[in-house]
Structure 1
Amino acid sequence: MDSFIVVFTNRLNIGLAATAYHAMFHENSPIELLEHVTPEHIQKDDSSYNPDEKEIVKLLHTISDKELFKKFSRDNNLREFKNNIPPKILNERIRPYIEDKMYKLVKILSSSKTQAFYKQSGYSNLYSTDKLRIPPLPCKPVFRVDIDGEEMHYSLKFKQGNEFISFHQKNPEIICHDPAVIKCDQKIYFFNLFDSGKLKPFKEKEYIHLKGERVIDTYMEKFISNVVELFEVQGTGFSVENIEDRPLPSLYLEKNLALQPVLRTRFTYGHRTVDPNRKTNVFVDYIKKDGHYIFRRFPRDFETEHKISDLLQENGLVQTEDMLFMHPDDKENSTPAGPENLIEWIRDNQSVLSENRIKTVLKVDEKQFNIAPVKVLFETETDEMDWFDIKSIIEVPPFSIPFVKFRKNILNGDRNYQLPDGSIFIIPKSWFSKYTDLFNFGQTDGDNIKLPKTYYHLLEELNSEEIEGISTPELPQISEHKTTPLPGGLNATLRPYQVEGFQWMEFLKANNFGGILADDMGLGKTLQTITLLLHTYKDNSQEAPKNQNSQLSLFESHIEGFNQSGRPPSLIVMPTSLVHNWDNEIKKFAPALKTYIYTGSNRARSKDLWKILRHYHVVITTYGILRNDVEYFTQMPWEYLILDESQNIKNPASKGYEAVSQIKAANYLALTGTPIENSLTDLWAQMNIVNHGILKSLSFFRKFFETPISKNGDEEKEAHLQKIINPFLLRRTKEMVAKDLPPIMEQVVYCDMSPEQKEIYDREKSGIRNNLLKSFDNMRHNEQAILALQALTRLRQLANHPAMVEDDFKGSSGKFDQIIESLENIISEHHHVLIFSSFVKDLELLETELKKRKIEYAKLIGSTQKRDKVIDRFNKNDNVKVFLISLKAGGVGLNLTKADYVFMLNPWWNPAAEAQAINRAHRIGQTRNVFVYRFISTETIEEKIALLQDKKNKLAEAFVNTTNPLREMNAEEIKELFS
């Protein structure tokens, strides 16, 4: 029966190694080596091998020629590898790898029943006499040192169990160097910590003789102290003491191999400071006293060392693989950084370090750091109406430094501040987020900081911090205005969120702040603003003026003015399309406010303009007119400058922005549903008008905010910006105030016709009226109704867009422009809209414009094929936010609850038909409030149709069930309709 054995032998060009064999033993004959045992043998017949044998095969497989070739060679084949191993690679890489495996093999064999043999080089046979004996325990070196005066004898023997042995003149063979494995005769000795190098002096000598005090001192300190640490030392002329004291921990500031800042822990045992990654259980401290050598042995205090390591990690540091400690922020940053984070950590954790007797050594790159606890002392008072005066001292013992001295460091992101004694104070990282705005937006005044009142929230943050000695003035509180009553004479019931908006604007006014009201389209920005204006002028505005509907001439310079409040009028600037709406809304909700419409023929360029406008509460004009007449508007004071659809001045380089920026008012307010359309510069432009300089210069804003936020996604900078603008920008979306809204909110949007549109309309209306007057007397009533309906249809088309009638019309339409502007606002707010029109041509014009602007849409008209496919496109594709629908094709049979806005582009007689269209969005399944906008061109037939709808008289009721409601009107009523 064959046996499993291990054979030690020298392999060609590799050196001493071992191989596992199946072997057959024969009496009085060489051992027959049957085959080399590999992992494949075990896979095929696992049960035939015991655990030791399996482990040995697995271990020796790693140092087989093939495996060494795979691990260490780039040659093409195994033979080339073995025949051409460079000596350096063999000695520095391959042999240490082999010896590591061989040491593990010897440890297994020492406690195993597996037989081991040594086959000498040059011998082809293996005999039973070649068997090796491996003791089960490691061999222990015993050093002998005898000192007598200036002479020293030093020798080395070995203890295997109770037996002392010597390798002197026995020519032992080294199997492994460190830890050592030695073959002597037919025995293998293995050691735990002993390296073979210590044998060299004793190969030829039994002992070493040294003479001279200096030589002996050096040998005792450099060599014997290390020996005492690990091994038994016997002899005379010295003593060994065992000490049980706990080590003193220290933290050293250093740099690792990647030049990153680290803290290295070291522990002082007696007079010896050592690293914790040393692989020893004992540290030895050497002293010489009165000619006598003393070695003090300190048992390794692993408990204390682990406690310190855990303590550092519990307080925020991260331990690396090489037992160094890093700040987590430095570890995440792969590029070399300075030691600032670690210095701040040490300063913040001084009490913890002191309690645990941890000393710090912080000098690095010739810099000494001050780690004294820092105190921040703030005192703030209001020295002027619009300024806060901030006095602050930073105490870094033993120095007291005005806080303004740190301005340059904080703005430049430099945490190293040199103190008068040359040491470095590391500015806390938190200061850069807390105080950057303070220095960016405040002005230095000697040792103080003057902060504009618009940054009061910065003081609130200081007040919330645990800053010693802080004293702050009474800061503006919006809660003080939450009880502000609504003004008398307001003909409207405000919803709760609208009341909050009014009170927010009152808060701004009371503190001389400007603001941007950025509510979603349809939430009543106009009504909230009218409420504010009525409250502003309430003292003398309780009664409506006698001639509210008639506007005074600019050239009536001697009139008894209505505005006796002592306040100048307020200027509201808006797109041309909104003038009519504002005028109507003011008349409807606040008739006590006297309004002047500074447009068209009511516009005049006069130095005496103020003499007229001062008698009004509100002056309404457009961005274009303000741009052209700005020199006249700048010659008078204003109570409010209010910018509606303020995104119109989003371009700081535009003439419109330049004109608006010249207007001086006591208060500033911007209204917009889209404060940011293209970039953050839009926000800067509008905020700079209402609170000049709050975001500093445009170049600063782009560098400090826009580029980091837009291009780099800097969340910290975004939070900074939010912090600055939040008090002055109020935005509510439909979803936020849904509980305050009715299921359907309807609003009429009045649109002034463009000049070229009005010209065509008036000419056409005059011609139609003349034609009707000539023809009506000779026609039957039924013929009159048909003729009138044709005329009416033509005028309705012109009121929408002249291009519906005249193909070569190149001008604009007031209503069309307003629809596009409103549509863009809604889409930018991620809403969906249904657009209904009585005219297919109207929808086609919109379709052309949507294509130009690359806005995706769906369209449903009478001729549409595959209606279901069109409807699914709108309902299922979120990129399609617009659905164009003709009133006839889409009045019934549709479920479009995805939409929460409905545009009715032109009024018609039949309210039921419009209601059916609205119900396409407002029906079961709709979870949001629905906004309905009805667009009506002013001074057109559309206004008269809307008035007839509102009257709900018997005439209107008759229209419900007829295709031509004009049949129910007599000739005089029809003529009146076209007047």
Structure 2
Amino acid sequence: MVQRNQRGQLTLQHQTVSAKNAPEFADGLDETDFELIALTDQIQQDAVIKEFWSKKTTPADFFLKIYDPEKGDKGLQEAICTYVQDRMGQILERLQGKQVFIMGKDGEPTWREMGVAPERASVLFHFRRNEDSTHYFPTIQYQGQKLEFQYKNAVIVCEQPAWLLLGDTLHNFHNDVDGKKIKPFLNKKFIVIPRQVEDSYFQRFVAPLVESFDVHARGFDIRSERYVARPQLTFSDAPGATVVAAPAPRAVAPARRGSPVAAHTATAEATVSEHIHFDLSFRYGDHTVHTAHNKRVCVKLEKKEDNYIFHRLIRNLDREQEIISELRDRALEVKGGRAVLEKATAFRWLHHHADELARLGFTVQQGPTSGKDYFIGAVTVQVGITETNDWFDVHGTVCFGEFEVPFIKLRPYILNKRHEFRLPNGQIAIIPEEWFTQYLELFAFSEEHQHALTLRKHHLALVSDLQNGNLATVVMSRKLEKLREFEAVEDRPLPPSFRGELRPYQKAGYNWLHFVQDYQFGGCLADDMGLGKTVQTLAMLLQRKESGAAQGAASLLVMPTSLVYNWMAEAFKFTPTLRLLIYTGTYRDKNVEQFADYDVVLTSYGIVRLDADLLRTYKFDYVILDESQAIKNPGSTTSQAVRGLHSRHRLILTGTPVENSTMDLWSQMSFINPGLLGTQAFFRKEFLKPIEKGKDEAKTRRLHTLIKPFILRRHKAQVARELPDKIENLSYCPMTEEQQQCYEETKSFYRNKILQSIEEHGTASTQFMLLQGLTKLRQIANHPRMADEEYAHESGKLREVVRMIKSVVSEGHKVLVFSQFVKHLDIVRASLDERQLAYAYLDGNTRDRHKEVARFQESDELRVFLISLKAGGVGLNLTAADYVFILDPWWNPAVEAQAVDRAHRIGQQRTVFTYKFITQNTVEEKILALQNKKIQLVTDLITTDEAIIKSLTKEDIEELLG
């Protein structure tokens, strides 16, 4: 710190000043002084070390190592130099008007005063070319006079920008002259450039000099030229010379292995081939100027014979900026003269903007560093789709400039998302990105036959989409044209021998089955459980028989074993003229020739799996799958077996087309309309993953569009007005082999004892034994474990009850499940627990009945309520449920009616479906028959089991135990 003493002399204070203590001297300092102090702080040794080195060190260690002549870090030296020079320049700029001194060698701070020249000087660079060499030297002019600076002990105080101390005056220069260009001439008249190196010297040194400074030349020409700026876009799949922004000082040191900088570089190199690099340049006359060049003047060197011409091109920077803006408006962001786009996007951009680029005067060309020779001409496609008897023929041509390629050749490229297509001349054409969306389904759903593409008729919606999007021209029959415009399904008369009536919505379903049949489509009837899928299907099959459309071929109905008897019962009731063959059981006649004598063959999924090879040899009229979710797993043996069957038509029936996964839908749709949703792999990639993982609404809508024409789905709520208040159904359940054996043994035991007792003592004395025996048989009909805790096998009724509970729940309904036996409810509970199905529960031991009722009524998630008949017969209001399952029907219908009324009471706004589960060939079925025989007795008079038992004759008892 220097200050004036009382005599006005400058004296040295033994105190240093820095930004920390500068405010103490505020009276003698102005704003510029504070800036100067801050800048000088930044070039102190400690400040430099802190900026460039994170480890602890001393100035001596740091600078001696960094500036070691042999081992020194050149990159770091350069960065430190740039850092210090920049701040030196800022300090010198602020010295104007200040007292400035040179410090003496003895440390005297005010040894010699100097001033700062009020104006900038200018440098003129001279070149004299003669036969042997070229002489190069600068002259300096200040205020119109030549400034003699050579051999005058002048000093370059700062190099970038140049500051020259000449005598006692500091000079700086116009055009930010680099001090290194003046320094060699402080003690030298000129530099000699020998003829043998002048080529490279003129190119590397003189040309940049001519760009930025005033140059006077003798022996070669410097021409200032103006031209119209013509834009040029050069593209390459290799980056070429990359323009890199100057890094922050800390990052100047070479990137160590594993550092973020190194990682970024490696990533850039790895992805280079997947991107296209655009370089923007401008043609000025015959010369190309890259926009990364940031100076208003660009110099191009030309050598003609023995003469050099420096073309000093005056750029039109406004025009260049306009062009950059035009590209930005068209989504190409050029920075530092370069833009990078992903390859497919880049060529889509080129094709899309080709005409506009031509209008703006662009030349588009491929760079010499490009790894491949790309085609950038016009790309067009024409696709035609023509209906034939059995399918659509797809034909088309793709034009890459003069080359015509059959459309089918693109199939593997589109399906596998490969963008590069090699043309006959070896060039690489990039398939337009939008084609991968527009034609993906066409290629995925079509089939290749003898180098031609075909689409099945059920892809009509896709064909229409292509036509509506102007992506294909379509020729089709009037029949299919009519289908595209259809508004309502045609009404069809019921077959004359059909017994009964169809409700309006059932009649609509019957009509719809004919509609898909007429167009040779497979169909999915997906009505809620209880709406009559069976009767609609039987009516259609009867019509096929009576109209002769079946042409003598039987139809195959495949279902879970438990449903065979139900189908048989429904057929006897509504379509008794249909000839049925029950093709099940171990002793079935494995002979397809017998099918000719029947209209409908009823069988199970298990039998189809076992007899797949045999059944494949017969061509059915219809193959119909009931509860078709049985084939939801496309890889299962069952799925493969039914897909291999041959038929004119295919139909599936299900209340739950999707149980667990979207793949359930693919499997079932692929059965009725093969190829509708493409291959399994395609469907998984394009629909299942986006829908299930990505919640992609657009994909969901697209999938719905594709399948909509082939699915008829009615929920109970949609047809509520057409339904009566209550609908009762019987569900017949076959016993398992183990269950049947257990039942027969118990029946024989009680039959012999009871009939012997009747013979000896009459019916009155056998009532208790009869009640005991019937109860035991009823328990075994439900589940043998109720009578024998050691029983380890399955029950046919439990299997069917659980299947139907799952079906009702998956359709969004609530169900009350009643049983007279708490033991039976326990078994059902265990089965639901195993399948993680939630339920409410109520029996005589339940303490808080109302809490359990409220839980079921109010929770949407809780869809099953297990109730014992005795506990739930009265006082419950369960209007949330619209299905009632009676697990073990018994004599007294009044008890069952009370159970049904838990759901069907005031406040219930939906039809209530009741299902009674009857085990085939057991006492349950026989009691039902007796009920029908003595209907008056069991409905009007009898209220207790004992009264019923008393009314039974010997013949009735023999019938029950027969």
TM bin (shorter chain): 0.7 to 0.9
Match of 1:839 among 821, 827, 848: 821
Contact 2:631 2:638 in 1 (8 A): yes
Change (3 A) 1:576 1:280: same
1:371 Cα offset (Å): 1.9
2:786 is aligned with 1:804: yes
Output one character per residue of 1:565-615: Cα deviation in whole Å (capped at 9) or x when no partner.
Answer: 7442322111121123223334555556554444569954456513531xx
Matched residue, 1:820 = 802
Distance in 1 between residues matched to 2:785 and 2:668, nearest whole Å: 35
Change (3 A) 1:709 1:772: farther
2:336 is aligned with 1:326: no
Match of 1:86, as an amino acid?
A: I
Matched residue, 2:208 = 226
Distance in 2 between residues matched to 1:205 and 1:253, nearest whole Å: 48
Output one character per residue of 1:651-701: Cα deviation in whole Å (capped at 9) or x when no partner.
Answer: 667665565455432112222345566777766654554345667887x77
Match of 1:372, as an amino acid?
A: G
Contact 1:181 1:189 in 2 (8 A): yes
Q: Matched residue of 1:345: which SS?
A: helix
Distance in 2 between residues matched to 1:345 and 1:508, nearest whole Å: 45
1:189 Cα offset (Å): 2.3
If the length of structure 2 is used for normalisation, what is the TM-score? 0.78
Change (3 A) 1:957 1:736: closer
Q: Matched residue of 1:918: which SS?
A: coil
Distance in 1 between residues matched to 2:535 and 2:165, nearest whole Å: 102
Matched residue, 1:578 = 563
Change (3 A) 1:733 1:717: same
2:514 is aligned with 1:506: yes
Distance in 1 between residues matched to 2:330 and 2:44, nearest whole Å: 49
Contact 1:243 1:296 in 2 (8 A): no
2:895 is aligned with 1:910: yes
Output one character per residue of 1:500-540: Cα deviation in whole Å (capped at 9) or x when no partner.
Answer: 75555434322333344455545544344335334434537
Matched residue, 2:624 = 642
Change (3 A) 1:589 1:192: farther
2:56 is aligned with 1:76: yes
Matched residue, 1:127 = 110
Q: Matched residue of 2:116: which SS?
A: coil
Distance in 2 between residues matched to 1:820 and 1:393, nearest whole Å: 56
1:750 Cα offset (Å): 0.9
Output one character per residue of 1:885-936: Cα deviation in whole Å (capped at 9) or x when no partner.
Answer: 334445677787887765443345335532453269x968x9x987654434
2:951 is aligned with 1:971: yes
Contact 1:52 1:108 in 2 (8 A): no
Distance in 2 between residues matched to 1:656 and 1:737, nearest whole Å: 33
1:431 Cα offset (Å): 3.4
Larger displacement relative to structure 2 (392-401 or 111-120)? 111-120
1:157 Cα offset (Å): 3.2
1:75 Cα offset (Å): 3.2
2:316 is aligned with 1:301: yes
Structure 2 residue runs of 5 or longer lacking an equivalent are: 240-267
Change (3 A) 1:365 1:605: same
Matched residue, 2:235 = 252
2:637 is aligned with 1:623: no
2:385 is aligned with 1:380: yes
Contact 2:623 2:647 in 1 (8 A): yes
Contact 1:380 1:473 in 2 (8 A): no
Distance in 2 between residues matched to 1:929 and 1:696, nearest whole Å: 40
Q: Matched residue of 1:306: which SS?
A: helix
Contact 1:644 1:672 in 2 (8 A): yes
Contact 2:814 2:881 in 1 (8 A): yes
Match of 2:895, as an amino acid?
A: N
Change (3 A) 1:654 1:232: closer
Q: Matched residue of 2:378: which SS?
A: coil
Match of 1:569 among 548, 554, 559: 554
1:296 Cα offset (Å): 5.2
Equivalent residue runs for 1:412-561 within 5 Å: 413-435=417-439, 438-439=442-443, 442=446, 444=448, 448-467=452-471, 471=475, 475=480, 477=483, 480=486, 482-488=488-494, 491-494=500-503, 502=510, 505-518=513-526, 521-522=529-530, 524-537=532-545, 539=547
Change (3 A) 1:55 1:126: closer
1:817 Cα offset (Å): 0.9
Change (3 A) 1:636 1:183: same
Distance in 2 between residues matched to 1:417 and 1:141, nearest whole Å: 59
Q: Matched residue of 1:156: which SS?
A: strand
Matched residue, 1:752 = 733
Change (3 A) 1:444 1:975: closer
Distance in 1 between residues matched to 2:879 and 2:46, nearest whole Å: 73
Distance in 2 between residues matched to 1:829 and 1:40, nearest whole Å: 82
1:421 Cα offset (Å): 2.4
Output one character per residue of 1:243-268: Cα deviation in whole Å (capped at 9) or x when no partner.
Answer: 26334332332433532432121222
1:641 Cα offset (Å): 0.9
Contact 1:110 1:134 in 2 (8 A): no
Larger displacement relative to structure 2 (306-315 or 155-164)? 155-164
Equivalent residue runs for 1:637-786 within 5 Å: 637-649=619-631, 656-657=638-639, 660-661=642-643, 663-675=645-657, 686-687=668-669, 689-691=671-673, 722=703, 726=707, 730=711, 732=713, 734=715, 737=718, 746=727, 748-754=729-735, 757=739, 764=747, 766=751, 770=755, 779=764
Matched residue, 2:286 = 271
Distance in 2 between residues matched to 1:886 and 1:79, nearest whole Å: 93
Larger displacement relative to structure 2 (733-742 or 242-251)? 733-742
Larger displacement relative to structure 2 (54-63 or 348-357)? 54-63
Matched residue, 2:364 = 360
2:253 is aligned with 1:243: no
Matched residue, 2:9 = 28
Distance in 2 between residues matched to 1:673 and 1:118, nearest whole Å: 99
Distance in 1 between residues matched to 2:894 and 2:532, nearest whole Å: 27
2:379 is aligned with 1:397: no
Change (3 A) 1:315 1:605: same
Output one character per residue of 1:279-298: Cα deviation in whole Å (capped at 9) or x when no partner.
Answer: 31222355678999765554
Match of 1:420, as an amino acid?
A: P
Distance in 2 between residues matched to 1:735 and 1:84, nearest whole Å: 90
Distance in 1 between residues matched to 2:873 and 2:672, nearest whole Å: 45
Change (3 A) 1:439 1:105: same
1:841 Cα offset (Å): 0.6
Change (3 A) 1:837 1:769: same
Q: Matched residue of 2:392: which SS?
A: strand
Change (3 A) 1:30 1:622: same
Change (3 A) 1:139 1:517: farther
Q: Matched residue of 1:573: which SS?
A: strand
1:844 Cα offset (Å): 0.9
Output one character per residue of 1:321-345: Cα deviation in whole Å (capped at 9) or x when no partner.
Answer: 6552222xx2xxxxxxxx4542343
Match of 1:178 among 143, 160, 163: 160
Change (3 A) 1:455 1:186: same
Contact 1:684 1:701 in 2 (8 A): no
Contact 1:23 1:35 in 2 (8 A): no
1:751 Cα offset (Å): 2.0
1:724 Cα offset (Å): 10
Contact 2:627 2:655 in 1 (8 A): yes
Distance in 2 between residues matched to 1:127 and 1:851, nearest whole Å: 98
Distance in 2 between residues matched to 1:742 and 1:652, nearest whole Å: 36
2:18 is aligned with 1:37: yes
Change (3 A) 1:865 1:202: farther
Change (3 A) 1:916 1:888: farther
Match of 2:180 among 192, 197, 201: 197
Matched residue, 2:297 = 282
Contact 2:628 2:652 in 1 (8 A): yes
Distance in 1 between residues matched to 2:361 and 2:277, nearest whole Å: 20
Distance in 2 between residues matched to 1:867 and 1:284, nearest whole Å: 97
2:353 is aligned with 1:349: yes
Larger displacement relative to structure 2 (896-905 or 397-406)? 896-905
If the length of structure 1 is used for normalisation, what is the TM-score? 0.77
